[in-house]
Amino acid sequence: ASSKPQPHSVAHVERAMCTAVERADQLLATSGLDVTDNGTTALLCMLTPERLTATWVGDSRAVLGVRWA
């Protein structure tokens, strides 16, 4: 059996979100921007028919609104 997680599995989504945050951090660190006195937050969400997955860095907040018919 393969150990590669299936697309949209919890493990796959978690790995993809962690990779995205790490890559954004690398890009910011090598951007040449002076970020020594700046704060940064990030929020990522993925919605599938089965679940909502969210991850955040820093002081971020997400609000989910639903309109009922």
Tens-digit pLDDT profile for the chain (69 aa)?
A: 556 667 678 888 888 989 998 998 899 889 998 878 877 788 888 888 888 888 888 888 888 888 887
Q: Specify burial of residue 30 (Cβ count, 10 A radius: 0-12, 13-18, 19+).
A: exposed
Element (H, E) at 15: helix 10-29
The angle formed by the CA atoms of residues 35, 37 and 43, to the nearest 5 degrees, is 65
Residue 5: its pLDDT value, please? 63
Residue 65: its pLDDT value, please? 86
Residue 39: its pLDDT value, please? 76
Coil, strand or helix at 49? coil
Residue 42: its pLDDT value, please? 86
State pTM to two decimals. Answer: 0.67
Residue 22: its pLDDT value, please? 92
